[in-house]
Chain A
Amino acid sequence: MASTVDQLIDNSIEDPARRAPLVTGGLDYAGVTDVVSQVAESPKPPRIWYILLGISLLLLAMLGANIGHLIFTGVGVWGNRSPVFWGWPIVNFVFWVGIGHAGTLISAILFLFRQNWRTSINRAAEAMTIFAVVCALLFPGIHIGRVWAAYWLFPIPTEHLAMWPNFRSPLLWDVFAVSTYGTVSALFWFMGMVPDIATFRDRAKDPVRRFVYGLLSLGWTGSARAWHRYEVAYVILAALATPLVLSVHTIVSFDFAVSMLPGWHTTIFPPYFVAGAIFSGFAMVVTLLVPARELFGLKHLITIRHLENMNKVIVATGTMVGFAYGIEFFIAWYGGNANEGETFLNRAFGEYYWAYWTMVSCNVIAPQFFWFKKIRTNPWLMVIVCIFVNIGMWFERFVITVTSLARDFIPSSWGYFSPTPVDVMMLIGSFGLFFTLFLLFCRFLPVVAISEVKAVMPTGEHGEGESH
């Protein structure tokens, strides 16, 4: 039988002589199955789950009402005015897409690098990715103004219109990148879930659950031949998703970088956006998983070591982002372009100085606390830092989008952006959408990749270490 090390062990201690176990609490195979399944099987979720779901649904309803208002009235209900035509909707879009990067990064890139610790967190991170992409797609979808013509974004042949999308426009690349990313992430997520849903099916007592999980698990029997093709497919999807995940935020950054606006037209944008996306995505994963593991009793699967590893990624990417801010300033000066220089001075010391310095303190200073092991391994402290990171990353997109647009080349058309209540309600409402989806996911689907965790558990008899 599979066995694990003593349950009192602190697996965040670095001991080069021995690999730290990824599952604690003395769980064996059946134990892992039980721990994950009880989340979905317990007759009643914790009370706090209902409270959170209630709040999220309220926010979701608010979002829905605002979208209805927007569609029937027009985009004028937002604060988007000349000269800032890309207000909060685009800020929110980039913010959510960025968050949606952690999941695929964890499931694909860490998989290719054989980082076994990913198995406990990848499922939840992938789910989070998909829900974030849903929130992200919402904003450009309604930002086009005439929502009923949204299908014009896609290359659909029409006899009478004789019009096609402009394939040379970064905004169109964006449509392709984000929708491909959403689709591939969803396939990846679902495929990973099938064996675990089969576990749910086989444990289900009541016929409705058996039917629904039976349908979703596609008749999976865990056949060795099926597993063989499944694993090959998993590697291929991971290999496809890896360049994809890097391409998505690169292309999102092209929306800005390909234009000629000072503060946007820089070649550092793609790597800088990708680092920022990973940064914010990991911060969101930590923010979600710390409460989730408390709530659903998953502490032995999502251990402190897992969280600590993510925090290390956060401090690394946070530092890269800080470095990128520095380089931007340096190039603005070194490049000798007066407009560029002025734009950056204005960012830091102009009308929007408050946004700039919020961004710098949240994104550059906050993650530095993770150099301290105490903070890095304390669940609640790390959540606080991560929330700051998320606030900072929203401000980063705000600073980039708004400060450059508010002041372009002609001083006579400079302006100042102020959001409307609809802007604010939509941003808050998008969190309602996100959390509603995430809470439902936690309750009804396998939160941890059961079969993947089992595959990296030590198999007792044959000694220490990995099973393969």
Chain B
Amino acid sequence: MAHRPSPTRTEPQVKFVGYLAEFDDPHRLVAACDQVRQAGYRQIDAHTPFPVHGIDPALGIRRTRLPFIVLAVGLGALAVGILLQWYANATDDIRPFPGYKFLISGKPTWSLPANIPVAFEITVLFSAFATFFGMWGLNKLPQFSNPLFRIPRFKRATSDRFFLMISADDPIFDATQTRQQLERFGALNVERVDHDQSDAELPRFLKPLAWCLASIAILIPTAVYRSQAMTNEAPRLHFNPDMDWQDKSKPQTVSPALAGAEGSTLFADGRVMRPDVPGTVALGELRLSDPLFRGYEQGTAVEPGATDEEGNPLEPEWVTAFPSDVDDAGDPVLEVNEAMMARGQRQYGIYCAPCHGYAGYGDGLVSRRGLDLTVQGLAAWNQAKSLHDPMVVDQAVGKIFDTISNGRNTMGPYRSQITVEDRWAIVLYVKALQATQERTAAATAPAN
């Protein structure tokens, strides 16, 4: 043994631990404990197959502090249980693991009665852990090496014999006298307990083995960590397809293989969507009028990306008044009136206000949150432009119509969501909004 210096090198490394006295009856054991204690011994312990009542005072065992440990842990767990629920369901802005605050049936997100069951269970769970692990910890168990286990007689300590142990460390311990005293107190038998210290030595192969296991154990987390930090082209492992891949046609995809027929697809050209029949136009898609459908004067279209000699993008001639097209029955498509304005206001509130704000200053909720996230470095967001920016105020109605239809810079297109009539109605409302705000000299009145 390296860590405990032995008196002389030659001596076997055996330490005298104490005397073990055997009794065959719990009452005799308790009586003996009493006498031993009165004789002044303090380093004493008994070993019995079941808890013998009355032995605690006889041995002078003081009450354990386990209950206080459990109380402290239990109260802590209660606090944690309540905090956890508050954090998870009543907050959503604590980083890096935001809570999930969501509304259910209009009930308050934080209401104690609903949180009692979980708080109670967490309290009980952790108090039980404290009791269980605290008890073993205070008893210094598990401890697999014990000199007592070397004594054949001691095996009956867990069946029907009762033992009293006096430690050799006790100040008044005396090798001969103590033995005589024990015999006098009614021990069936007194045995000397020695601790062969080489017992506690770990087997030699254990150290290299432990090193091997430790290095293997490190490999797995290292591999996980490495793969987390790397990009990987291979598709994810998908343990359960869970209807993620189905033989069905989705727009804009390659037509799936027909069941049973290897390699063949539904349509010869491999596409799922069918092109229009050549020379035909679908009902309602003729859209000849440039002013109404595209916002510029008839025939002034420019090639996308076309520029003038100086490299400025070319623009078509935007219409400056609301188009006066008529439908098949001869009625005007757009009637600039109060109803159209109301419609515009309504659609603006739905489609534009989230970003541009109800008053058009570019301060809608979406835009504000986007900016917040941008400040925190969690997103890259361009503020929605203020519609009262002189540059926008000066725009012709056709251009605004085009912005809505096709988007502009970082703003997306809305032509597939909003009908032509509604887009013009929104333009009308935008113009009205601009007119309500302070006007720059160059601002023009809404064409009307």
List residues of A whose CB falls within 8 A of some B CB: 1, 28-30, 33, 71-72, 146, 148, 155, 157-159, 162-168, 170, 172-173, 176-177, 180, 183-184, 187-188, 191, 195, 198-199, 201-203, 214-215, 218-233, 236-237, 240-241, 243-244, 247, 251, 254, 450-452, 454-455, 459, 461-462, 467-468
Contacts and interface: CB of A to CB of B under 8 A. Distances in A.
Nearest to A254: B117
22 contacts: A30-B159, A155-B88, A162-B92, A163-B100, A180-B122, A183-B125, A183-B128, A218-B141, A219-B142, A222-B48, A222-B49, A222-B158, A223-B47, A224-B61, A228-B51, A228-B61, A240-B127, A247-B120, A251-B117, A454-B49, A459-B27, A461-B27
Given A202-B159, A203-B159, A222 B100 contact: no
B228 to A, nearest CB: 12
**A184, A215, A236, A462 pick with most chain B CB within 10 angstroms:** A236
DSSP class of A's interface residues: helix, strand, loop or mixed? Answer: helix
B160 A229 contact: no
A188 B50 CA distance: 17
B135 A230 contact: yes
B283 interface: no
B212 interface: no
B115 A227 contact: no
**A33, A229, A451 pick with most chain B CB within 10 angstroms:** A229
Interface string B135-147: 1101101111110
B104 A168 contact: yes
**A28, A176, A218, A222 pick with most chain B CB within 10 angstroms:** A222
Contact of B239 (A148, A180, A227): A148
Contacts of A157: 97
Interface of B: 24-27, 45-53, 55-56, 59, 61, 63-64, 66-67, 70, 84-85, 88-89, 92, 96-100, 102, 104, 107, 111, 114-115, 117-118, 120-122, 124-125, 127-129, 131-132, 134-136, 138-139, 141-146, 148-149, 154-160, 239-240, 242
B48 A224 contact: yes
B115 A167 contact: yes
Nearest to A468: B53
A65 to B, nearest CB: 17
B89 A167 contact: yes
A221 B193 CA distance: 14
B85 A167 contact: yes
Given A146-B242, A236-B66, A173 B131 contact: no
Given A202-B155, A232-B135, A459-B25, 13 more contacts: A146-B242, A167-B85, A168-B89, A173-B117, A180-B125, A183-B128, A221-B148, A221-B149, A222-B47, A228-B64, A229-B135, A229-B138, A236-B66
B141 A219 contact: yes
Contacts of A198: 158
A233 B134 contact: yes
B88 to A, nearest CB: 4
A30 B158 CA distance: 10
A168 B158 CA distance: 49
B27 A184 contact: no
A451 B27 contact: no
Nearest to B109: A168
B191 to A, nearest CB: 15
A220 B158 CA distance: 9
A173 B117 CA distance: 6
A232 B142 CA distance: 18
A160 to B, nearest CB: 10
Nearest to B46: A224
Given A167-B118, A203-B155, A230-B51, A187 B100 contact: no
A459 B131 CA distance: 31
Contacts of A183: 125, 128
B132 A233 contact: yes
Contact of A164 (B88, B143, B149): B88
B157 A202 contact: yes
Nearest to A247: B120
Contacts of B99: 164
Contacts of A229: 64, 66, 135, 138-139
A187 B67 contact: no
Contact of B55 (A30, A148, A158, A224): A224
Nearest to A167: B85
B59 to A, nearest CB: 6
A118 B46 CA distance: 27
A1 B136 CA distance: 31
Contacts of B61: 224-225, 228
A224 B142 contact: no
Given A219-B141, A223-B47, A227-B51, A165 B159 contact: no
A240 B111 contact: no
Interface pairs A-B: 6 shortest CB-CB: A157-B97, A164-B88, A218-B142, A29-B160, A233-B135, A224-B46
Contact of A199 (B25, B53, B64, B159): B159
Contacts of B111: 168
A232 B27 contact: no
A452 B66 contact: no
A214 B155 CA distance: 12
A1 B25 contact: yes
A167 B125 contact: no
Given A29-B159, A219-B143, A455-B50, A168 B240 contact: no
A177 B116 CA distance: 12
Contact of B118 (A172, A184, A222): A172
A164 to B, nearest CB: 4
B121 A177 contact: yes
B186 to A, nearest CB: 13
B120 to A, nearest CB: 6
Nearest to A451: B50
